[in-house]
Amino acid sequence: MVETGFLFPKTFLWGAATSSHQVEGMNTRNDWWEWEQTGRVKEPSGRACEHWDRFREDFKLAKSLHHNAHRFSLEWSRVEPEEGKFSEEALSHYREVIRSLRENGLEPVVTLNHFTVPLWFAGQGGWLSPRSPELFARYVKRAVEFLGGEVRFWITLNEPVVYVFKSYLVGEWPPGERSYKKGFRVLSHLLRGHVLAYDAIKGVTGALPGRPVQVGVAKHVVIFHACSPKSWRDRFSVGMRNLMFNHLFIKALIRGRIFYPGLFHVRLPRARTLDFIGLNYYTRDFVHNEGFRMLEIFGDVCTLKHHREIGKRNSLGWEIFPEGLYQLVKEFSRYRLPLLITENGICTDSDEERFEFIRKHLACLGRAVREGAPVIGYLYWSLLDNFEWADGFEPRFGLVEVDDVTQARRVRESARRFSEISKTGRISWNE
């Protein structure tokens, strides 16, 4: 008999993701807010989606869409608005958020840091400061002491390598640095910050009853292909990108150290500080070599300039390449850790395209799972249309449309069709 589809495991997590600064609104005490006031972004985040006040309504929608999990982040600058002073009010708010998720049958997946940092922390040099890993771990400890009993999945950092790239190499995000030396320093502090946070979470929750707590990172991954497949130089840069961008952070945490002669060397307090790997997947990049000096080895992206074979793109110009999810999940299976798709989504004005995106990616994911990949869930980015960093509110990623003026929510058709899949756990190969 011809196999027409695939049934995901009953325990599979289905849902969507958000992050504090992109949806809460009025996060006035972090570095992004300050950056927005200097006019370097399309528009400021302002009230965003008013999710701070509307989370209950939003979770009800998620439940109605047959989600059984939801990823969100704590806003560090709300929890610790001044150095060492923790806000009971903010922590109680997040406890309410978690309770509301549970009441709606949604497993909370909680990110502790999604790009934004408190102003006081930025003022001390942010992640460049040698104290930064300890300062991060102190915040994590306090937050987990307050909330730990109610959360099973913690994500320490969102996309640490993207953060380094955008904030310290190309200077598009705060603090707008352009220095690879600083970039590597921040990277090593983020690694150390993760390890200290991991220990803090395990230390606090170790004694609590219930199911074991799982700690991971949300790692942005990209499929890299050579601009000219025949060029060994391009293929070399593809390899370097794959190593540095996709694998370095994970390898360092698993091994407890990483040593690339002349490039990067870090020794961490401990090895094996990952219980699962979160993957954020969006696109493929074509790369061509630029030379062999520092940074040149990673090449440049020529997707838009040269390549004819690229497929459809989202409204930000990122190519849609579902097969990449299959390839990356297979590649990351070699770490023998559970994989959670912590983000995958499309910004588009065509809702038909959104559902096609979801369906094709889930078909690829299903194929990988059928072949034994240890994937435990899929979280679509994002539940709501929201503040897309430097690109403002224009890119529409949401399963739920948010009216900029009235803040009214409207469930998109693609969300309903996705809910049929999450309800049954079944994806057909071709529909």
The rounded distance, in Å, linking the Cα atoms of 124 and 222 is 32
State the nearest-atom distance from the C-beta of 78 to ligand FCB, in Å. 17
Output 24 or 388, the one with its CB closest to ligand FCB.
388
Output 22 or 214, the one with its CB closest to ligand FCB.
22
Nearest one of 307, 345, 291, 172 to 226, comparing CA atoms: 307
Beta-carbon contacts of residue 144 (< 8 Å; ≥ 6 apart): 151, 154, 200, 201, 204, 205
> What are the structure tokens assigned to 253, written together?
């945490």
Output 22 or 30, the one with its CB closest to ligand FCB.
22
Output 70 or 220, the one with its CB closest to ligand FCB.
220
The rounded distance, in Å, linking the Cα atoms of 268 and 255 is 9
The rounded distance, in Å, linking the Cα atoms of 229 and 68 is 42
Nearest one of 386, 401, 391, 380 to 68, comparing CA atoms: 380
State the nearest-atom distance from the C-beta of 384 to ligand FCB, in Å. 12
State the nearest-atom distance from the C-beta of 371 to ligand FCB, in Å. 27
State the nearest-atom distance from the C-beta of 36 to ligand FCB, in Å. 15
State the nearest-atom distance from the C-beta of 289 to ligand FCB, in Å. 25
Q: 375 forms bridges with which residues in the sheet?
A: 339
Q: Which residues bind ligand FCB (CB under 6 A)?
A: 19, 22, 158-159, 162, 220, 280, 343, 381, 388-389, 397
Output 319 or 388, the one with its CB closest to ligand FCB.
388
State the nearest-atom distance from the C-beta of 382 to ligand FCB, in Å. 7
Output 16 or 226, the one with its CB closest to ligand FCB.
16
Q: Within 115-231, where are the H helices?
A: 119-123, 132-147, 160-164, 180-205
The rounded distance, in Å, linking the Cα atoms of 70 and 14 is 8
The identity of residue 285, as a single letter, is D
